[in-house]
Chain A
Amino acid sequence: MNDSLGLYACCRIAQRDLKLAMRRKSDAATPLLFFVIVATLFPLGIGTEADTLRTIAPGVLWVAALLATMLSLPKLFEDDYADGTLEQLALSSAPLSAFVVGKIAAHWLLTGLPVAVLAPLLALQFHLPSSSLLVLSATLMIGTPVLGLIGAIGASLTLGIRGGGILLALLVLPLYVPVLIFGTGAVDAAAAGLGATANLSLLGAMLVIGFFFAPWAITAALRIALE
């Protein structure tokens, strides 16, 4: 079979990861529950002052989404590495980067997408105007795959290291800063009636750049981990 681009490989690994996640639903649900709980704690702790809540809403929701994505990242390659699947993937005739993209896509479908869908609901607790709800969801839709791509670089670099989870957070969180700034910026701009197009375009640009360069870096790191 000719699969030089690895599209088939990409779909197969995503399909397998989703199937595995469905067999262990509690693992898949943990980041989402975490997101819901963290986002709910803030209004409870801060009080019912609508203006304050409205101001902090984009930041709180974005940081919660960012941490929820982080939570499942160490697992991204760890299981495949430990049980030897990763070395078999590296020896497959399909490009390793295709498998990497497939795994990140599955990770996004399991965390990023549901977070983006849940966020507008949780935003209601913050008295966010309904016009910004859609923008919030859109920023997360575009932003969470970027988080996944950047996070996967960290996950591949810390693969097989003891206590890699903390190191991963230290490595990756600073790199999340631009995504966070433009993500929350878009929601703020929409709330102020300025239009969110500029921020959304920048997020989109980050996604495109990440999509082209991250798999290359991840593949290199994985090959080193497998040596």
Chain B
Amino acid sequence: MLEVINLGCLRGERLLFQDINFRLEPGESLVVTGENGSGKTSLLRMLVGLTPLFSGSIQWKSRPIDQMVGEYRRELLYCGHPLALKDGLTAVENLHSIAALAGETVSLTAVHDALDQCGLNACAPMPVRALSQGQKRRVHLAKLLLLKRSLWVLDEPLTALDVNASRHIVQAIDQHLRSGGIAVLTTHHGLPLAFTPQTIRVGA
């Protein structure tokens, strides 16, 4: 369970938002909307613990996240704007190393399965350098299927994806929620999720 109480964000001299409150039970999701520069990404970075809180608190299972860093991070999966892929490695090697660095050992079969489900089987042996923007994005999102985490924090997951891939991602999120996961995401696109998400608007 994720609970955010009176969260405020100050960037430089500017107060981006304040008094953000929400509470997500297992199986619930939240869509953060707002204009460019309104602080959506800052909100997500605060949620995952990269940006320090200006005011308020964030609680995971009724405890502040900064008191249970290791435990919280083991349940957390953050997909930000940068794709965190290495150009010189193949899609398989990238996913394998992402999983290893996240502290999980995954089998090669599991990596291939995840790539398969993202429609990338043909690209598996190619260096990521040779892939298109959308394909890179798919490799990046394949880790949603690969790592078993209960809290997904996704920043604009549908950027650069075609209709098919977008549908796959929406299905993956639905599946995640059905199995008791929590998802927080920002998007400019309509997101036809099976469960109606909570929405919150940041900025003026």
Contacts and interface: CB of A to CB of B under 8 A. Distances in A.
A219 to B, nearest CB: 13
Contacts of B82: 82-84, 87
Contacts of B80: 84, 87
A20 B86 contact: yes
B34 interface: no
A9 B101 CA distance: 6
A125 to B, nearest CB: 36
A1 B103 CA distance: 7
Given A1-B104, A92-B102, A16 B84 contact: no
A75 B83 CA distance: 19
Contacts, number: 71
Nearest to B98: A88
B170 to A, nearest CB: 23
Interface stretch (B48-56, B113-121, B189-197): B48-56
B142 interface: no
B100 interface: yes
A85 B86 contact: yes
A12 interface: yes
B124 interface: no
Main secondary structure of the interface of A (DSSP, over half): helix
Main secondary structure of the interface of B (DSSP, over half): loop
A113 B146 CA distance: 37
A23 interface: yes
Contacts of A49: none
Contacts of B93: 19
Contact of A24 (B51, B74, B88, B98): B88
Contact of B70 (A23, A84, A87, A93): A93
Contacts of A93: 70, 73-74, 102-103
A91 B89 contact: no
A82 B87 CA distance: 12
B73 A91 contact: yes
A99 B100 CA distance: 12
9 contacts: A9-B101, A13-B101, A83-B84, A85-B84, A85-B86, A87-B84, A88-B101, A93-B74, A227-B51
Interface of A: 1, 3, 8-9, 12-13, 16, 19-20, 23-24, 82-85, 87-94, 99, 226-227
